[in-house]
Amino acid sequence: MSERAELEALVAAQFDRDVSAGARALAAAVRQQVGGVLAVVFYGSCLRTESDVDAMLDLYVLVDSYDNAYQRPLLAWLNRALPPNVFTIEARAGDTEVRAKYAVVTLSSFVSYMADSTRESYFWGRFAQPAAVVYAASPEVRRTLAAGFATAVETFVRNALPLVGERFSTRQLWLAGLARSYASELRVEAPDRSQELFASFAPYYERAAQLAFAAMPFAVDRRGDEWQAAIPAAERAARLREWRRRGAYSKVLSVLRILRNAYTVERGPEYAMWKIERHTEFEFDKDWRQKPVPLVALAREFWRAWRAGAFR
């Protein structure tokens, strides 16, 4: 078996992880609400902690087309213009009410966003990490997802390698890449967040990186307990410049997504504000919706939070 085939098998093995009854109920509810669903992917902190009590699960809903997904043409247009659209949903699992945020994107676009040519790390930074497939319409969809996730790992590794020294451990590689990926977005994360992510699936991350090394256009060789990458100096410099550009570009898109989510997500901006306030001492003006132009007021609040250092 080639390294690429083994990498696809490795990520596909994570697809079959046991998930909670709440995650299954939410996936079923999403399929009733969204048209043309090909797959529902469960990822994020609730997957890692295996808990859906008093939590907001993270789902990706992959569809065959935006026109089939929505009854409202504006939502289809927004999804094409600035993917993904994000919504919230609730369902019951036994006696428990569970909630989720779910993002919508076409399956073909989802896979294409994992490529190294994708400028922002929004997609491949997330899905180089393990995820469970709660629903897939066919074995072919699962194979397509496995190929996409494997590409995400390879893209992540190629962009993370310039962030570490000439010799490194796979742990150092993932920590550097995860930290830089998160820093490229307007996200509030604890300083040790990357360490927690790596520790939660350490064997997976170790093996995934080793398999991805075979796809690099330069040699990556083992040196005892470490690895050594023969990255050309020009490529290292270019990749580091791209990380700097990616940060500015991604932050602009993050602001636009926050404003868009004020339209698509019920109480979505309030959720983002709560998350920032939970991790910082910053306080938002909760009356932004009562201002003459609410979207301008919302943008002003997040600009004020950024200037105060609540996120970077």
Query: Does residue 254 sit in the same domain as residue 239?
Result: no
Question: Residue 117 is encoded by which pair of tokens?
Answer: 């040519």
Number of domains in the chain: 2
Query: Does residue 123 sit in the same domain as residue 251?
Result: no
Surface-to-core class of residue 195, CB atoms within 10 Å of its CB (0-12 exposed, 13-18 middle, 19+ buried): middle
Query: Would you state the torsion angle of the CA atoms of residues 47, 52, 54, 59, taken in this order, to the nearest 10 degrees?
Result: 60
Section 160-179 average pLDDT:
95
Query: Does residue 264 sit in the same domain as residue 157?
Result: no
- What does the pLDDT read at residue 187? 61
| Bigger pLDDT: 68 vs 288 | 68
Q: What is the pLDDT of residues 258-279, one digit of tens each?
A: 777 766 765 667 766 766 776 5
Query: Does residue 233 sit in the same domain as residue 254?
Result: no
User: Is the predicted pLDDT of residue 17 greater than 80, yes or no?
Assistant: yes
Provide the pLDDT confidence category of residue 283 given band limits of 50, 70 and 90. confident
- What does the pLDDT read at residue 105? 97
Query: Does residue 173 sit in the same domain as residue 237?
Result: yes
Query: Does residue 55 sit in the same domain as residue 111?
Result: yes
Q: Look at residues 222, 245, 268 and tell me which one is the last residue of a structural domain.
A: 245
Question: Residue 88 is encoded by which pair of tokens?
Answer: 């919230």
- What does the pLDDT read at residue 113? 96
CB 208 within 8 A of CB 10: yes
In a domain, 312, yes or no: no
- Expressed as residue numbers, the domain containing 215 is 3-245
User: Is the predicted pLDDT of residue 240 greater than 70, yes or no?
Assistant: yes
Q: Say how far apart CA 106 and CA 14 lie, in whole Å.
A: 21
